[in-house]
Structures are given as C-alpha cells and as structure tokens.
C-alpha cells in the first residue's frame, strides 16, 4: 500500500494504472475509520482493480463553531486497517497542499444543497462540493463510493457530477449500523455511555416514522411527529430538523407517500448526529 500526500504524484499513480486498463475505485473519507467507511472500501474492492482511499479532514466544510479542531484524527490506525484490506493507495494531503495561499475558487453547490443540512450548516456543502471536486481531479477514478448515511451529500455529489460533466461514476452504499441501530459515525466517539444509549432513539424514531408512513393514513407532519415523539421520549430535545422529503430533490413532500426519504438531525449532549431512511416506492 502506498501513502502519498502529493497531488501530482497521486494523479500520476492513477493514470499509470488506468493505462494498464485497470478500473480505479475512490473512497473519500475524513479518517477515524469505522466499519461504515470500510464497507465502502469493500464495495470498491469488489468491483475495481485498485482502490484509492483519501483521508483529509476538510476545513472548508466545517462552520466556525463546529468541531474541526477536535475532529478525531487516527491516521496510524486508519492506515493499518486499510493495509489489512489491501487498499492500493492512500492519499493524505495537508491543508497547505489543498488550500495554498491565494486559494479562492469554490464550487457553488446545487439546489439540492439548500435545505436541511444546508440550512443548519451554512457553507457546509460549498466546502464539500469544492473538496470532492478537487479530489476527483487529483484522483481521476472510474468509480467513487459514498455512504447513504450522508444522504443529502450523495444527492449534492450526484447532481454536481451530472451538472459539471465529471467523468466518474457514483455508487451509493447502504448505511452501516451498530447492533442497536445507531448509524456508525466518527462523531459517535464524542458520546458518553449515557448519551450513546439515548442516541439509539434516532434510528428508532426513523423506524416509527416509516411505520406511520407505511400505514398510509398520516400527513407528512404526522410522520415527522412520530419521529419527534421517540426523540423527545429519549430526552433528545435539541432537534435541528425532521423531514419527509422527495428522495431526489429533497423538497418536503406534500403527501406522505413513497418514494420518500426521512431525515433527522439532532444533538445528543453536545454531539450533532444525522441519520435517514429511504422508503422506496411499493
Ligand atoms: P466521512 O469520513 O464522515 O466524511 O465519511 C466518508 C464516507 O463514508 C462518506 O461517503 C460517508 O457517507 C461514508 N459513511 C460514513 N458513515 C457511514 C456509515 N455508517 N455507513 C456507510 N457509509 C458511511
């Protein structure tokens, strides 16, 4: 496994393998790897000849009062896990390389970035779109793998790739959960034991909402209320949003009918968690 922090060397590495006819898979991450990230690596290994993982905590997608400074950084452990999974290349750029003095070009994210995370984390998707675009240019992979865990992010990336004619195929992989349903996240490390127990309410709430939707009687408001009740019962009061939305546009549904995505963002203690379930058309 090679570890490279220079964009020119990384791009050369990819081009050399593509010239040999190899299909290259890309898994962008911010590190602090868990089984959710590793499921993307496995998906890439299953369909590509060589997998590239990027590890970069991207400062431009964090707001001024967010957790950029304290975000977990566990590079040595991450590299061990990737080595064990026969990843071919890990790209670990520095801030100085990604955002050198004078850097001032950003990607204006698509309309699907406007609501939900976009509203509660101003500038977040501008940072995401910009860094993902940069990573696609540095690692010109054939396929890139993203997790459904960050549902709105997948819609932003899919739209950007289409709108800007980026020659990469996007694959969205299912959310990997702990046994009790909590979606795996690098931020789960921030939770105390008691908060960790309460955090299971996010997924339980989403399931209650899905059940309300599938019973077919409720309005979108009633579906969201079903989610809210489970959160409130677990003592989670600091809720950024609960939304029943169109799975493509992410606009709120006017009628509670699949296909839909049910999205939630809430703080458990000081830790902001997000989760979602997609309810396909019957
Ligand atoms: P992050 O390191 O949080 O930026 O995540 C890197 C990639 O891993 C993104 O595409 C995430 O959606 C994906 N990911 C994070 N958590 C999970 C999970 N629990 N299941 C599946 N994919 C995940």
- Using alpha carbons, select from 157, 135, 165, 127 the residue that is nearest to residue 53: 135
Q: What is the pLDDT of residue 157?
A: 99
Instruction: Report the C-alpha gap between 119 and 169 in whole angstroms.
Output: 28
Q: Ligand 1 center to residue 41 CA distance, Å? A: 11
Report, as an integer, the average pLDDT of 76-87.
98
pLDDT band of residue 218 (cuts 50, 70, 90) is confident
Q: Ligand 1 center to residue 146 CA distance, Å? A: 7
**Catalytic one of 15, 37, 120, 124:** 37
Helix/strand/coil percentages in the chain, nearest 5: 45, 20, 35
Q: What is the pLDDT of residue 276?
A: 99
Residue 199 pLDDT more than 80?
yes
Ligand 1 pocket, 37 CB below 6 A? yes
Mean pLDDT across the chain, nearest whole number?
Answer: 98
Report, as an integer, the average pLDDT of 15-33.
98
Residue 181, H or E segment: none
Burial of 26 (0-12, 13-18, 19+ CB in 10 A): buried
- Mutation probe of ligand 1 site: the residue of 32, 33, 37, 135 with most atoms within 8 A of C-beta: 37
Report, as an integer, the average pLDDT of 208-224.
94
pLDDT band of residue 111 (cuts 50, 70, 90) is very high
Residue 181 pLDDT more than 90?
yes
Residue 220 pLDDT more than 90?
yes
Ligand 1 pocket, 44 CB below 6 A? no
Residue 217 pLDDT more than 80?
no
Mark whether 37 is an active-site residue.
yes
Ligand 1 pocket, 40 CB below 6 A? yes
pTM here? 0.98
Ligand 1 pocket, 33 CB below 6 A? no
Residue 98, H or E segment: helix 95-98
User: Residue whose CA is closest, atom 14 of ligand 1?
Assistant: 147
Residues 26 and 141: beta-carbon distance below 8 Å: yes
């Amino acid at each position: 496994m090679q570890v490279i922090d220079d964009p020119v060397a990384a791009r050369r590495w990819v081009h050399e393998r593509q010239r040999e006819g190899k299909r290259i898979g890309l898994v962008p991450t911010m590190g602090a790897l868990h089984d959710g990230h590793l499921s993307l690596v496995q998906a890439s290994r299953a369909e590509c000849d060589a997998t590239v993982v990027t590890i970069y905590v991207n400062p431009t997608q964090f707001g001024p009062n967010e957790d950029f400074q304290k975000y977990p950084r566990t590079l040595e452990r991450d590299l061990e896990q990737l080595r064990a999974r026969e990843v071919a290349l890990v790209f670990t750029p520095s801030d100085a390389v990604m955002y050198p003095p004078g850097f001032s070009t950003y990607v204006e994210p698509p309309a699907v970035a406007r609501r939900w995370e976009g509203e509660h984390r101003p500038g977040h998707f501008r940072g995401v779109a910009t860094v993902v675009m940069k990573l696609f240019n540095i690692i010109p992979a054939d396929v890139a793998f993203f997790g459904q865990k960050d549902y709105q992010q997948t819609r932003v990336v899919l739209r950007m790739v289409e709108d800007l004619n980026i020659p990469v195929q996007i694959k969205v992989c299912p959310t990997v959960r702990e046994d009790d349903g909590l979606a795996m996240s690098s931020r789960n490390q921030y939770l105390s034991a008691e908060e960790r127990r309460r955090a299971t309410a996010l997924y339980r709430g989403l399931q209650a909402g899905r059940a309300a939707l599938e019973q077919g009687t409720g309005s979108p408001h009633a579906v969201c209320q079903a989610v809210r009740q489970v959160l409130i019962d677990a003592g989670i009061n600091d809720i950024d949003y609960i939304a029943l939305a169109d799975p493509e546009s992410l606009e709120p549904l006017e009628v509670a009918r699949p296909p839909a995505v049910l999205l939630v963002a809430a703080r458990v203690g000081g830790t902001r968690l997000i989760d979602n379930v997609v309810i396909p058309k019957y």
